[in-house]
Each structure stands twice: as C-alpha cells, then as structure tokens.
Chains A and B, each alone.
Chain A
Amino acid sequence: MSTSKQTADAIIVGGGLHGCATALYLAMRGINCAVLEKDYVGRHASGVNAGGVRRLGRALPELPLADTALSIWRNIEDLVDDDCGFESLGQIKVAENDAELSALKNRAKTVQDIGFSHEEIIDQKQLRELLPAVASHCIGGLYVNGDGHANPYRTVTAFKRKAISMGVRIFEQTPVNEIVRHGTNWLVKSPSVKIEAPIIVNCAGAWGGSIAAQLGDYAPVEAQALMLMITARMPRFVKPVVGSQGRALSFKQFDNGTVMMGGAYQGRAEPEQNNTHLSFNGLAKNACAATAMFPIMRHATIVRSWAGIEGVMPDNIPVIGAGSANGVYHAFGFSAHGFALGPLVGKIITDLIDGGDIELPIDAFRIRRFSQNKDT
C-alpha cells in the first residue's frame, strides 16, 4: 500500500476522548494537528465506559481537576455543539451500617481539610428523599450535588466532529507502527500514512505504555476489562448516580429507563485482539450488590453486558504532562475514571504545549514517577 506523507504542528496518538479533546483545544489555538486512531474514535474505554462525571470519592490529587472539569461539562454544548447527554442529578455513596457511615464522614472531613466543600454527609431521611427506592436498611450517605453523568460515545463523537470542523485531520483504522526522530520532528509511521510534527501527544489509553516506550518514557500501564451490564427499560425510580461504601457498585438509570450497573469487577482484557471476556461470577456479585441496595432490581432484566479496555496505572491515577524528550506529552492511564476529566485534560495538554500557565496542580501525574521508583 502506498503511504502518503503529511506534516502537522502536533500529532495525537489515540482517538479517545482525551485525544479528541486535545485536538479540539489545539485547533482552537490555531495549532494544526492530526489524530491517529488504530480502530475508530471512541471504540474502547472512551466510548463504552459508565459515563460518570463525578468529584465524589476521587483520589485527592484529582480533586482540583475534577472540580474544574465540571465547569467545562456545565457548558459542554457551547464547546462542542452537543449537550453530550450531560445530566447533573447528583452522585451519592450509600452507607449500609455505622462503620460505613463513619468512613464516609472521615472522607468528607479530609476533603474539607484541603479546601473543598462539595461532599456532604446526609442522614437516612435525606437519603430516602434522594433515593426513594433504596433498601430500608441503608442509613445515610455521602452526597455531591452537581455531579452527574453523560453519554460517553455521544460525547467523544461530538468532540471528534467539532475537531474536524476546526480543521483537525482524524485518521481512523490507522495503527501506529513506529515512531522515530526525524531531525527535530517526530515521524509517525502507519500502514496508510506517515506524518511528522515537532509535537506528539500520547493519548493511547491502555496502549499508552508501548507508545510511551517509543518516545523514551516508561509507564507500567495495565489493560483491564471493567465489566458493565444494563437492563431493559424500567419506570424511572432513581435519578442520582449511586455508589456504595461497602460494596463494589456503581449504579445509574438513564432517562430512557435502562439501568446500568458496574463497579470494579473485571473480566479479562486482550488488548492485542481488541477483545474482552466477561466473568459471570463477577457480574453475579455486582447483581447481588444491586439487588441488596435496590430491592426493585430483583425483577430487572439484564439484556447486555460488556467491558471496555481500560488503561490502569499501579497507583490508580493517570499520567498527565510532558515527557522526557522534547515535544512529547502524555495523557493516558486514567485507571477507569478518566471520562469526566477528558475535556479538561485536552485543555491542560494544550496549555502545556502552547506555553500557557497551568494553574492546576498536575505534578502528581508526571510520568517520571514510575522511572524514579524503578531506579530506587
């Protein structure tokens, strides 16, 4: 096959939400960029995740980012001409006993101590007002007003379309074979196209580790298959997104009535084959948690289950920032909770590239943390 040769100001590897958002922000600054996606945009974690947009329960280093990201989500339609299905109906983590409630109280205090006030403890009465269908033994919870969820595939597609309208070239079905230095540029070779640019951004998700290696950086990203399942339509009985302090469960009902359940149970990922396998023993535990917390769910019908391929870091927080070589930037390994951050991360990477000020603390996400650990 003949390969065309092209140039750009920046090349983005990976057409997920982070890649497309980065492309869009770069394009808005007049930086000419190309996105290379080995499958199609939103094929993996970006398009098939649970769609949570939350601050609730986030790792502390991510909190400032999640808080700022929410302001982008509130105006997402201004940015990408689509509301992305974003609904802000709150998120709740439920406590089923005193020990769980006191753990939630500790968490709320920790968050307050670093200057955030969004997480609030609610008692049993408030819980039942927010979640009328919750099981009667649940005694309270931790609530964040303003958190919510969006439609993942619709979101990533909206970013893609907006980026294209701003002149971004998106190459789908275009796997990266090799990345080499060419003068001061990075030359990216794929079966159908060769592109070179002084800047390269690694947004390759679960495949981000091997891209990082080609750019001279080390990051031990592990591909995981986080399982989700969804029911047939039911009358609407829950509005906020619900989690559990004591069980691995994430639970939400969409406005079309379908109920999605997920939470920490893994299938088996085969990133080389683009494939995931499900484990019904894990899904059974998930079902157990859902029926225990919402008795109405006993009669729900599961119509589909699936798992996206997530890139997970050993410390469960992502890699965001500059690489060690000139012109290299990374944004991957969001460890199964990167969707909400996607639009903001695109802006952060653009600020880094464009020499702008980064007001948000991102040092915790530097890629060097792994090679430093490796050395010592």
Chain B
Amino acid sequence: MKDHYDIAIIGTGPAGMAAATVASAHGADVLIVDEQPEVGGQIYRGITRQSIKDRTILGDDYYKGQNLAGAFAASNVDHVSGATVWQVSPEREIGISKDGAAHLLTADQVIIATGAQERPFPIPGWTLPGVMTAGSAQILLKSSGITFSNAVFVGTGPLLYLIAYQYLKAGVPIRAILDTTPKSNRLKALPHLPGALSHLGSIMKGWKWIKALKSSGTLFIEGIDDLKITGKNSTEAIEYLVQNKWHRIETSNVFLHQGVVPNVNLAMASGCVYHWNEQKLCWHASTDEWGSSNVPGISIAGDGGGIGGAIAAEYQGRITAYQALYTTNKIKKQERDINVLPTRHALAHEMRIRPFLDAMFRPAVQFRIPTDDATMVCRCEEVTAGKIRASVSLGCAGPNQLKSFTRCGMGPCQGRFCSLSVSELIAEARNISVNELEQLRLRPPVKPLMLAELANLSTFASEDT
C-alpha cells in the first residue's frame, strides 16, 4: 500500500473489478480493497477457486465472472484483500485495517463499489439460531460447498428461487418453499412486462427454476399472508398463514430472503447523498450519469448505488472508471466518450428488466414492517417494533433520535441490518413517507475498528505534528 493513489476502489465485485481493470489499463495508479480473501464480491464469490466441481449447480451466469476475474488478475493494480475499509472522508482520506494494523491513505478519485446486501426480513423468531438469509446459505455453498438438508426457503425474489434451484441441482433435500410474493404483484408487474421482454431469456430462466422446484415434488406454498418462526433456544418450526389458516412445518433451518438492497453505509458516511426510491423500497444514490456523487472525487458504481445486478454493475464500473481517468487527466474527453458509449447502450438494455422485477417481487408490507410489537427490529441492541412505536408516540421523529431513545442502531452493525426496517416503521407510525424522515446519520468507523489499531496510527501521525 502506498500513501496516495490516482484511483482507489472499494469492493472487488463486478463493478470494482471492471473499474480497476479499465483504470489500470490506461495507466492509472490503482488501489482496490475488499474484505474478502478473494475477488468476486457476493455474486461471483469463490470464482477464482471453485470449490464445486459440478458446474451445473451454480449455473452459467455465475461462471460469467471468470472472464472478469481473469482480466482483473492480468491487470496491474494494488489489490489489498482481507482488509476492512472503515472510512472514506469527504477529502478522500481512506482508513483501512489489514492484519491488525490501520492505515490512512488518500486518492484523487474514489470509486465506492460496496454492492448489495439482503433486505431485512423482520418476522417473529427471525433472530433464532437456525435462521439465516438465503444469501448466507448461498455463500456457504459457493465458498465451501456446505449445505443444510431439509431447510425451509421463505420469501420472494429471483435470488430465493435461484438458491433453492442450486440446492435442487446439488441434490440437497428441501423441506419446503414458502413464497411470500403478494398475488396482487402480478397485476402490478404486467404493465412493465413489455419493457422486460428484451430479457425474455432471463425471465424464462427464472420460470424454469420455479417450474423445476415445483415439479421436483418439493412442497411449494404460495400466497403466504403471515409468518412466524418458533423454537425454544433454536429454530424448531415455521408457521405460516394461508387463506386465514395457520399451518406448521417442523424444521431446524429457515432461509429468509426478500430481495437485495444497496449496501450504503460507507458512501453515506462519506457524505454521499441518497434518496428514497419508492418503487424499490430502498435508498438510491443521487449520482449523475457518470456515477459521480455530490462529494467531489467520490463516485458510486454497481449495486451499492442502486440495484441493477451483476452485469449492470460491471458496466457501471467501467463508466465510473473512464470518468475517473478523465478527471485525473489520464485520458482525453473524446477517448472517454468513445469508450463509454457502447457500455451505456448495454447498461440501458440491462436495466430494462428492472421495473418488472421490482413490481413483481415487491415485498409485502407486513414482512417489512413488523405487525407484532414483540418482533425484534434491531438485533444488536434488542429493540422491538413495539419499543420503536412507543418512542414515536413519545415524540421520536426519526432514526437519529431513535438512537438516543432506545440505542436502536447503535450496536456493532451501526444500523446496517435494521435501518431500512426502522425508517419504514417510523414513517408508517408517523403516517408520512420515508423521504420526509431525516436519514440515519452514519459516521466512521463504518466497520468496527480495534482501538489498538487506531492507537498505532498515532505513532505515525505524531511524526508530522
């Protein structure tokens, strides 16, 4: 690691890898940092290692990541893996922890490509041992081939069906699939279908997964109106409401998923402005056509700015990289524009399926905003929905005041896993839109930082003071 780079990129998913490859090919001095030991991000996790021999299990889309990872491996960038980025300041000072030591360095341009995370799924019992997100189950599958027999898959969205399908392909028995997609979504998605038809292949693929799951004999229940996971010390059963009747399935593993949302904490803490997107029910970065944020020199690429998927992320990574190259005088404007134009067309094409997917898999309100006051919302500080509603009735107006009222969002995750639920819950209780709420103020360190590491920084800092 040097003290200064032309371009620093946070995240080695598709957006980060694409950006780094483009930037270094044009002579920029590039740093790329990621928490994981290997490149790929969540979507292409383990792509350079491939612990699963049978390629049909993860499917062709996953192996598209090989080209990207190959080009990245051949490029000349400083790749710092297994490291935590805990701050990007508005002056583009980057705080990194690696192997127990903290470092501060700077860059002329920073591309934040922190990707997506799964939407919280706060239902009764969701914090019991044995419950995990479907994405976590997929991480275990991709990175080490670990699977759980007789799990119940619960929720909505393409990723849920994909992971269940991957389980099916791997020959792991699935206890049941409980589909929470509201039936009314189909009608609302219909107007968006013509735009999505250019992605007929993708739609057919998803349909194939669902069809395969249904015809495999796996219990596949649709029209779920309510859910609770029960158990004494760990998961023992999941109960679900269909057509006003409760049913019960005994299981020790439940995989929850209701879509992905941008992982916003690092960019928000840098001062990047986000706005509430009512179609996607999450925060979207307020960036320009180059991915540039309101903070000079900081841009956002990929799902961390707004969900577009892996292919779109790759395109956005390229576009932001060309802009960063232009801004740092590595290329001329014409070169930037000529190189970016085909990518823009491809990106526009890629995004055409999104309105359909957003409408089709819009998660139901009762699974985003807990109806049962006893349901946990903030896991770190154990704050329930009821406690949040009570705070609102005492005059708590938004998520920042809620921290002071209840410590909600003040634990080790710093609101990463609860802030969406909290914002929607407070907005509902106050009968206003989420956009009218003050956003959660995020502060570095964005990820927990050992005091000893921070203290060691001071021995360097004191030399120049």
Interface residues of A (CB under 8 A from B): 40, 42, 47, 153-154, 157, 161, 231-232, 256, 277-278, 280-281, 283-285, 287-288, 290-291, 297-306
* B227 CB → nearest A CB, Å: 31
Instruction: Give Cα distance in the complex from A303 to B450, angstroms.
Output: 9
Complex contact A302–B449 (CB within 8 A): yes
Residue among B93, B95, B414 making CB contact with A303, cutoff 8 Å: B414
Residue among B405, B445, B456, B465 making CB contact with A302, cutoff 8 Å: B445
With A232-B448, A287-B454, A304-B445 as given contacts, are A277 and B90 in contact (CB-CB < 8 Å)?
A: yes
Indicate whether B444 reaches chain A with its CB closer than 8 angstroms: yes
Complex contact A301–B455 (CB within 8 A): no
Indicate whether B357 reaches chain A with its CB closer than 8 angstroms: no
| CB neighbours of A288 from chain B (8 A) | 455, 458-459
* A267 CB → nearest B CB, Å: 10
Residue among A161, A277, A302 making CB contact with B454, cutoff 8 Å: A302
Complex contact B462–A287 (CB within 8 A): no
Complex contact B455–A298 (CB within 8 A): yes
Interface residues of B (CB under 8 A from A): 87, 89-90, 93, 95, 102, 104, 394-395, 397, 401, 404-405, 407, 410-412, 414, 443-445, 448-452, 454-459, 461-462, 465
* B58 CB → nearest A CB, Å: 35
Instruction: Give Cα distance in the complex from A231 to B405, angstroms.
Output: 19
| CB neighbours of B89 from chain A (8 A) | 277-278
A-B contact pairs, 7 of them (CB 8 A): A161-B395, A232-B412, A280-B87, A301-B448, A301-B449, A302-B449, A302-B454
With A284-B457, A285-B461, A291-B451 as given contacts, are A301 and B412 in contact (CB-CB < 8 Å)?
A: yes
Instruction: Give Cα distance in the complex from A303 to B459, angstroms.
Output: 22
Complex contact A291–B397 (CB within 8 A): no
With A157-B404, A277-B90 as given contacts, are A304 and B451 in contact (CB-CB < 8 Å)?
A: no
Instruction: Give Cα distance in the complex from A40 to B437, angstroms.
Output: 13
* B262 CB → nearest A CB, Å: 21
Residue among B407, B445, B452 making CB contact with A299, cutoff 8 Å: B452
Complex contact A297–B93 (CB within 8 A): no
Complex contact A306–B458 (CB within 8 A): no
| CB neighbours of A284 from chain B (8 A) | 102, 454-458, 461
Residue of A whose beta carbon sits closest to that of B451: A300
Instruction: Give Cα distance in the complex from A50 to B401, angstroms.
Output: 17
With A281-B458, A287-B458 as given contacts, are A47 and B450 in contact (CB-CB < 8 Å)?
A: no
* A269 CB → nearest B CB, Å: 14
Residue of A whose beta carbon sits closest to that of B410: A304
Instruction: Give Cα distance in the complex from A304 to B400, angstroms.
Output: 14
Complex contact A305–B444 (CB within 8 A): yes
| CB neighbours of B459 from chain A (8 A) | 288
Instruction: Give Cα distance in the complex from A299 to B450, angstroms.
Output: 6
| CB neighbours of A298 from chain B (8 A) | 450-452, 455
* B396 CB → nearest A CB, Å: 9
Instruction: Give Cα distance in the complex from A305 to B442, angstroms.
Output: 9
* B266 CB → nearest A CB, Å: 14
* B415 CB → nearest A CB, Å: 10
Residue among B95, B412, B451, B457 making CB contact with A297, cutoff 8 Å: B451
Residue among A47, A157, A280, A302 making CB contact with B93, cutoff 8 Å: A280
| CB neighbours of A300 from chain B (8 A) | 450-451
Complex contact A280–B450 (CB within 8 A): no
Residue of A whose beta carbon sits closest to that of B445: A302
Most chain B C-beta atoms within 10 Å of own C-beta, residue among A278, A290, A299: A278
Complex contact A40–B401 (CB within 8 A): yes
Residue among B401, B451, B465 making CB contact with A231, cutoff 8 Å: B451
| CB neighbours of B394 from chain A (8 A) | 161
With A153-B404, A232-B448, A303-B445 as given contacts, are A283 and B454 in contact (CB-CB < 8 Å)?
A: yes
| CB neighbours of A231 from chain B (8 A) | 451
Complex contact B445–A305 (CB within 8 A): yes
| CB neighbours of A297 from chain B (8 A) | 451
Residue of B whose beta carbon sits closest to that of A283: B454
* B285 CB → nearest A CB, Å: 19
* B112 CB → nearest A CB, Å: 18
- Top 4 nearest A-B pairs by Cβ distance? A153-B404, A284-B458, A284-B457, A287-B454
* A303 CB → nearest B CB, Å: 5
Most chain A C-beta atoms within 10 Å of own C-beta, residue among B104, B412, B443, B455: B455
Instruction: Give Cα distance in the complex from A247 to B405, angstroms.
Output: 33
